[in-house]
A and B are shown apart, each in its own frame.
Chain A
Amino acid sequence: MIHSLFLINCSGDIFLEKHWKSVVSQSVCDYFFEAQEKAVDVENVPPVISTPHHYLISIYRDKLFFVSVIQTEVPPLFVIEFLHRVADTFQDYFGECSEAAIKDNVVIVYELLEEMLDNGFPLATESNILKELIKPPTILRSVVNSITGSSNVGDTLPTGQLSNIPWRRAGVKYTNNEAYFDVVEEIDAIIDKSGSTVFAEIQGVIDACIKLSGMPDLSLSFMNPRLLDDVSFHPCIRFKRWESERVLSFIPPDGNFRLISYRVSSQNLVAIPVYVKHSISFKENSSCGRFDITIGPKQNMGKTIEGITVTVHMPKVVLNMNLTPTQGSYTFDPVTKVLTWDVGKITPQKLPSLKGLVNLQSGAPKPEENPSLNIQFKIQQLAISGLKVNRLDMYGEKYKPFKGVKYVTKAGKFQVRT
């Protein structure tokens, strides 16, 4: 299925290649570069490129292109999903998925790729199994390895691979047994000029960090499971229990993983925690314009809104901006024309605002559209949909685990049209 993989950095260097079947020449990537040139923007490179003898399927993650070479028909999502899984694994092993990290750990990267794909077909992609096969790098281990000359590939076959629960490794032991759940909800919204909501929905995930010994069987129940409209599950969850009782019952993988992601039905009205007052205008035939935005809280359920950032992609004719924020700091990048205003917390007494002048290229016609504002924010200890975890029970093990649930609401793709 997947023949080869090329890792390409932003400046167009192929810095790593791996072939699972026969070697495919690097020149195949020329087609990719061609497409990249045509697309101008990195985001616009088509994920699937057809060349005379091969098909190239690529993803763009963390400023790196993962380009895979395919020879025969295969579902494109299959490959895309796999490439993202590879990137996730790198992230998991090295803390980040960057060119430097990959170059520092070339040996482990090759070992991982070798295990993940066998003759082009995915073999072991679960992080728990991989970690049993190939130990993640630590300073001590790399020192020991370089002295003894041994590799960090495990000798034994991972036990999980053979069991019914391939996602969990056997013989897990912790002194402190803990299970933490983060309920993270993101508000996706489009707000129009007048401040009314064009589209809003809540997307949520429950990320878990589970450090429990043995083979715990957990079940997590919600106060209001009916809120969840559409759910996707980690394979460990027993689907039938959910269908019949609306209880998440599972034997968890060890460590960090995403338990479920869900969508709250858009029928329910979504509370929009912030409002933005804006007036952006460009004068005809003059080289300046006005820019004035104010942010205030709205429907915030009595919690403070923090970590507010406003990002604006200004039109190309904008040369520079002279603004004064009442709070936080702003930067304007004259090359990418991106204005970023780091606001911080909102205090209702004094609403943060950003005012000032915009310098335009003289002679150029004034931009027709005002740029839309992308807003980021965070509200701690609140799930905006009202979702609440009821209880977590553990079966199968004797000890008493420490349990914790954290709620966070964030802005997802939150855009205000001006």
Chain B
Amino acid sequence: MMLAIKEAASDMSPYVRKTAAHAIPKLYSLDSDQKDQLIEVIEKLLADKTTLVAGSVVMAFEEVCPERIDLIHKNYRKLCNLLIDVEEWGQVVIISMLTRYARTQFLSPTQNESLLEENPEKAFYGSEEDEAKGPGSEEATATALPARKPYVMDPDHRLLLRNTKPLLQSRSAAVVMAVAQLYFHLAPKAEVGVIAKALVRLLRSHSEVQYVVLQNVATMSIKRRGMFEPYLKSFYIRSTDPTQIKILKLEVLTNLANETNIPTVLREFQTYIRSMDKDFVAATIQAIGRCATNIGRVRDTCLNGLVQLLSNRDELVVAESVVVIKKLLQMQPAQHGEIIKHLAKLTDNIQVPMARASILWLIGEYCEHVPRIAPDVLRKMAKSFTAEEDIVKLQVINLAAKLYLTNSKQTKLLTQYVLSLAKYDQNYDIRDRARFTRQLIVPSEQGGALSRHAKKLFLAPKPAPVLESSFKDRDHFQLGSLSHLLNAKATGYQELPDWPEEAPDPSVRNVEVPEWTKCSNREKRKEKEKPFYSDSEGESGPTESADSDPGSESESDSKSSSESGSGESNSESDNEDQEDDEEKGRSSESEQSEEEGKKKMKKRKKVSEGQGEGTSSDEGSDSSSSSSESEMTSETEEEQVEPASWRKKTPPSSKSAPAAKEISLLDLEDFTPPSVQPVSPPMVVSTSLATDLEGLTLTDSSLVPSLLSPVLGVGRQELLHRVAGEGLAVDYTFSRQPFSGDPHMVSVHIHFSNSSDTPIKGLHVGTPKLPAGISIQEFPEIESLAPGESATAIMGINFCDSTQAANFQLCTQTRQFYVSIQPPVGELMAPVFMSENEFKKEQGKLTGMNEITEKLTLPDTCRSDHVVVQKVTATANLGRVPCGTSDEYRFAGRTLTSGSLVLLTLDAQPTGAAQLTVNSEKMVIGTMLVKDVVQALTQ
């Protein structure tokens, strides 16, 4: 046998070699003594360059010697490159093997998390763990920061991620899942998002596939909620889904619920509660309970909903609600005495033991809130004690003990009666409990010490339970594995190793190929990086001389990046074999350009469909090692030629100086009263038009000044704090001037000031990640900002008539800051001018759902015309419509993107009572506007 396999393993035909690989596990299971010899054969076959053999031999490897990870080193790059052409079954096996391999060989891409947490980047990386930290601590870490070494992804790690990504498009669910788990376990947080779409696609497949995928999604969604948020609706439940699928989807929905989407989720849950499938209804009630504990804002709503369910006809539903209500009440019992009373009444009707037990526990625990009812409940329970289930009996004893301690006058006899009944119960547990309780609460000669503390023992404040997902800690199993699904270790499960502390030597993967010249090149480059990164603050000591002319490289980053990029792909194509693959036979240039095309495509796609989710930062996910790597290298080079670039930079900085001065002048103006704000030409036209109109109607004299000085809506808002920005402070204001490039955009003035002692160079906007529809017109790059100087730039943002925040990166030459601008609703519109008649006509068209009315009382300070107009126009960018009556104010505007009319009417009575009406097609905008204006007027 052994001989035959050895011979076949070196056969000419790859099919024979493949069969030889298949034979290895067979022989191994027959005779495991031959292991060493078999490993030799495996080693030989692993070096095989055909796609046909790769899958089978890795399979044999996994069966015979999964621990011999050292055999993979030399073949790692080859396997990565072959992967896409291996048949589907082989792909699955290879990917899961490579996941394990990568976990032992590369550093964790998220290892610097602790470090990032104090960074401004944290907001970008995950919504879970961003929370305000005092500026002091940030400052402290900011100084400590440079001492540590930033994470650099090993190029081989990157290679793996990049080569597996196309497989997400595979038709085979198993392959997609394998890639998904690889990304989940190996990719940096920012890149994991790409797998969500593919996983959601699998949900259309057979129900068994759905079942497995949902299990995995449930686990993932606990850790990376943002990833699946855009696909929330794909997890909505159909009444025809099998129950097990329904429950898993419910789990995912619950995991995904957060402050913003909870209303929609709860509305869905309401539909589910009426389902005919009772198991599913019970699970839904549990899910509501979990939402209520996780999201404090909706706790009361949920509780009310659950209390309503108590009058449901189905007993199971009631019982489940009771159990959940009990858990919720434990969080804030004092406010809910009523609910406890209501529950107490239910004891007569509910038969489900778990629910009865829960009610009794609640009454006992909070007997001081229901002092009259509690003894009565105990009386009833004592009567029916013998007929109760064990779990209820235990709670009756519990209740009796607690009442005895708090209200012994009324309940002493009852308690003793219950305890005596329990003493002769059939269940030993109940007998034990009764004996124990009696000793504890009834003072006797011997047990005095304990009974003195009985009250403390029984009525100690108990922490509220945390309702957690059952999928919480499942991710310690490799996702997609059988063990993960069963949540138990299956035979033959290979533990997913933890990331190593120190990176093992990457050179083990180098393959000795005669024309391997680029390798040394790359090696050199890697060496160069090191000194740079060890002191990234820039005071780099003497570094190795770069092999190319530094001047030319510093001139164009892009050039150097493309150079290193193509170098990368060259080295790869040397590495990979071109034996049987037509696609790889192409030149590296075309590959490179394709890569770039891909990137662009991805970006465009993202912009068109991307959702405003914070965690899945797609920028990095474009999976091109060439880009990330080249960034690093170009930075290095930049650093090395510091003096040279300084010399070069001098002329531009002197050139930019006057410009900067101008800007700072502008900046100063911002502090002066808003009326001095420069008015752009179109504004002038419109205001003059307004004065014309005003001349026609001749009513309100206060109109002119209020129109002529476009009020600055919102004062300066902070975009980036001085400390977080390492000396760069950024504020923004909504200037309310039409944005010159695109009328749909809101123009935002951004004020930069540099309070550090080094100049900040190359300020520009990095690739934004925007929710659907939102687009940004970036401001021109600010070349340099000297210490102590400030500058202003204007950028346009098309918010698409929503108040979603626009997130983007603010990049300097050395750093990137993640910032976001959220517009107040009033800034999403521009004033229009119309006559009273026109106004009324338009208002007539926008009634019904489009009309929102609110009553309010104007405080004394804001009864005068001027103040009212000023306050409204400060809140919203609307134009005053002249009108005949003195106590009516009308304002009109159009939303910037869709141009829908927004009409605002304020009808003020002399007494101070007023009615505010907003008519707009955009109901959301209307509602928010009403809220804002009312707030502004009544303050």
Contacts and interface: CB of A to CB of B under 8 A. Distances in A.
A239 B276 contact: no
A166 interface: yes
A80 B177 CA distance: 12
B775 interface: no
A267 B233 CA distance: 12
Interface string B156-196: 00000000001001111110111000000000000000000
Contact of B242 (A43, A188, A199, A313): A43
A77 B22 contact: no
27 contacts: A46-B211, A47-B211, A75-B481, A76-B485, A77-B213, A78-B89, A78-B92, A80-B206, A81-B173, A81-B209, A119-B22, A119-B25, A121-B22, A125-B87, A188-B204, A198-B268, A233-B170, A235-B88, A244-B597, A244-B598, A244-B601, A263-B201, A265-B609, A365-B313, A368-B274, A368-B312, A369-B274
A336 B911 CA distance: 68
A121 B56 contact: yes
Interface string A228-264: 0111111100111001101000000000001001010
Interface in B818-877: none
A81 B14 contact: no
Contacts of B480: 75-77
A417 B239 CA distance: 9
Interface of B: 13-15, 22, 25-26, 29, 51-52, 56, 59, 84-85, 87-89, 92, 96, 166, 169-174, 176-178, 197-198, 200-201, 204, 206-209, 211-213, 233-234, 236, 238-240, 242-244, 268, 271, 274-276, 312-314, 480-483, 485-486, 488, 490-494, 580-583, 593-594, 597-598, 601, 608-609, 772
Contacts of B481: 73, 75-76
Contacts of B56: 121
Contact of B15 (A76, A157, A192, A239): A157
Nearest to B601: A243
Contact of A72 (B59, B176, B490): B490
Nearest to A126: B87
B171 A44 contact: no
B848 to A, nearest CB: 15
Contacts of B96: 75
B242 A122 contact: no
A381 interface: no
A81 B242 CA distance: 19
B14 A162 contact: yes
A77 B238 contact: no
Residue of B239, B482, B598 most packed against chain A (CB within 10 A): B482
B594 A244 contact: yes
A316 interface: yes
A44 B244 contact: yes
B835 to A, nearest CB: 36
Interface string A153-197: 000010001101010000000000000000000001010100000
Secondary structure dominating the interface of A: mixed
Nearest to B23: A119
A166 B198 CA distance: 25
A23 interface: no
Interface of A: 1, 21, 41, 43-44, 46-48, 50, 55, 58-61, 70-78, 80-82, 84, 118-119, 121-123, 125, 157, 161-162, 164, 166, 188, 190, 192, 198-199, 201, 203, 226, 229-235, 238-240, 243-244, 246, 258, 261, 263, 265-267, 313, 315-316, 365, 367-369, 371-372, 374, 413, 415, 417
Nearest to A78: B174
Identify the 3 closest CB pairs spanning chains A and B, nearest first.
Answer: A72-B492, A43-B242, A369-B274
Secondary structure dominating the interface of B: helix
Nearest to B609: A265
A274 to B, nearest CB: 17
A121 B89 CA distance: 8
A59 to B, nearest CB: 5
Nearest to A42: B242
B207 A43 contact: yes
Nearest to A367: B276
Given A47-B211, A55-B490, 13 more contacts: A76-B482, A77-B173, A77-B480, A80-B173, A80-B174, A123-B22, A125-B88, A199-B236, A229-B197, A230-B197, A367-B276, A374-B240, A417-B239
Nearest to A41: B242
Contacts of B208: 47, 58-60, 80, 84
B59 A121 contact: yes
Residue of B13, B177, B581 most packed against chain A (CB within 10 A): B177
Nearest to B84: A239
B174 A77 contact: yes
A43 B96 CA distance: 30
Given A46-B244, A164-B580, A73 B609 contact: no
Contacts of A266: 233
Contact of A162 (B52, B59, B597): B52
Contacts of B22: 118-119, 121, 123
